[in-house]
Amino acid sequence: MKDRLTTIIEQHENSRVEFKTNFSSDVIETVCAFANAVGGSVFVGVTDKGKVVGIQNLSLESTKNWLNSIKTNTSPQLFPEILIHEIDGKQIAEIIIQEYPLKPVACRGKFFKRFGSSNHLLQADEIAQMQLMSINSSFDAFTVDTPLSELDFNIINRFYKEITTQNRIKLTDNNVINLEKMGLIKKEKPTFAALLLFGNHNTGIHIGRFKDRDIIIDDILIKLPLIDAVNEALRFIQKNISVSYQFGNQLKRIENWQYPIPVLREILLNAIIHRNYQSPNDITIKIFDNSIEFVSPGKLMGNLSVENLMTDYYTAVHRNKLLCEAFYLLGEVEKYGTGFIRIRKQLLNYPDIKFEIDNTDGYFVRVVISLSAPFNNTKEADGDNVGKDVGKDVGKDVGKDVGKELTETQLAVYNLILQNKSIKISELSQHTGLTERTVERTIAKLRELNIIKRKGGRKNGAWEIEKIS
């Protein structure tokens, strides 16, 4: 026993251990905080530095008085176990409390929870969230007054059509019944999750492209049903990050993005699914030259910590159970909470990319992905090689000149036009990730160089490849 106690004391205070020199109201708060977390022990007779000072005249009678004080000052009443130990001739008491099944437990009308080596006073939304988790529910399961007719059933039909390809749930031919089966409709009323997924809601994703912290180049506020908001947000992000291209022997373009797109999508989905929708703040995404910051309202759930997320052994906690279920059925996420594990494993192939998670302010989760070195968006565009490949279709000399004269952006547009001479400006923008204005400027330069020309109008015309003189 002495070896166990010595080891615990030497490890200092943590999420399950607290030291107190004597019994006081602070001890009761800590007992309550442990009950609202994963349980723990308060050692009375030990300083916060881990020095054993002991308790004078410690007896079973005094511990009974402590138990009575804890019982009368907590609601629901707590009944911890108290053990008396002796270390180096000095007596200390260990108050052991288990995690309480129905949370939260109050201490004199206030609610505390253990985070790290300190007690945190819970706010109203945290108290509500803890109550929902105790009954295996979540905020997005509450119904709203929005009529079912205001949900977008085109999106709903598309949603269930995509679900059937994943084979993760058996569906009926009636999508209203399917919504009820998933808990998205209750007593003919949509839940908040259904409104978020398929309706008009007052939550947004605000994305900005920054040149500096106070210089905004481009931005967008997305307030779409979440099923569509994910793709819209990712399109804007791709439009505002760098990409380089490789052109193979078959003129098939290979894209090399500044950041791996699956990683960006995983971070984006995590921010959307796990955000606190009771907060009036939007999800914000800031794109800089060499970094992207994703900020989602709401602290990490339950006992999850940043340190946990950077390991392969954390246990996921879902703030919005129905949203999580919906995106799981779409095949977008796994319910096992492996998202951050997959992100870290994918980034092992990108040694220049740094991945950080921050939850220090307690109200937002910030995820930052950044480059330790500037992205080289020209390294893949070898002019002579690209020119020679292109030249296989339009003539050896033309290809050679193209490889020498054009930038990688111009080559990308040129290659797409070569493959589809009826391609539109909007399609070129979508395939390259460039803005339509940039595509138009690029085409103007290609026409100026007499590399391409237009035959016919904007709707029914087509491009022709001109031989370079």
The pLDDT of residue 132 is 75
Contact 221, 282 (CB under 8 A): yes
Comparing C-alpha atoms, which of 36, 40, 32 is closest to residue 107? 32
Domain with CATH 3.30.950.30 in the chain: 2-122
Structural tokens at position 49: 């530095």
The pLDDT of residue 151 is 94
Sign of the C-alpha dihedral computed for residues 117, 119, 124 and 127 taken in this order:
positive
User: Which residues, given as ranges, of the chain have pLDDT below 50?
Assistant: 378-404, 468-469
DSSP 139: G
* Percent composition of the chain: helix, strand, coil (DSSP 3-state, to 5): 40, 25, 40
First to last CA, the chain: 91
Distance between CA 113 and CA 123 in Å, rounded?
11
Distance between CA 86 and CA 100 in Å, rounded?
29
Cβ atoms within 10 Å, residue 378: 14
Structural tokens at position 85: 């130990």
Distance between CA 114 and CA 39 in Å, rounded?
9
- Give the position of tokens 């940039």: 438
The pLDDT of residue 469 is 42
CATH 1.10.10.10 for the 383-465 domain, yes or no: yes
Q: Which residues contact 183 (CB under 8 A, 6 or more apart)?
A: 141, 191, 193, 322, 325
The dihedral over CA atoms of 210, 212, 217, 219, expressed in degrees to the nearest 10, equals 30
Where do runs of H (alpha helix) occur along 150-293? 153-164, 175-181, 192-198, 226-239, 261-274
Domain with CATH 1.10.10.10 in the chain: 383-465
Comparing C-alpha atoms, which of 309, 215, 302, 322 is closest to residue 267? 309
Which CATH entry fits the domain spanning 138-379: 3.10.590.10, 3.40.50.720, 3.30.565.60, 3.40.50.2300? 3.30.565.60
Q: How far is CA 191 from the centre of its chain?
A: 22
Bridge partner residues of 189 (DSSP)? 186
Which CATH entry fits the domain spanning 2-122: 3.30.950.30, 3.40.50.12780, 3.40.640.10, 3.40.190.290? 3.30.950.30
The pLDDT of residue 252 is 58
The pLDDT of residue 403 is 45
Domain with CATH 3.30.565.60 in the chain: 138-379
The pLDDT of residue 400 is 43
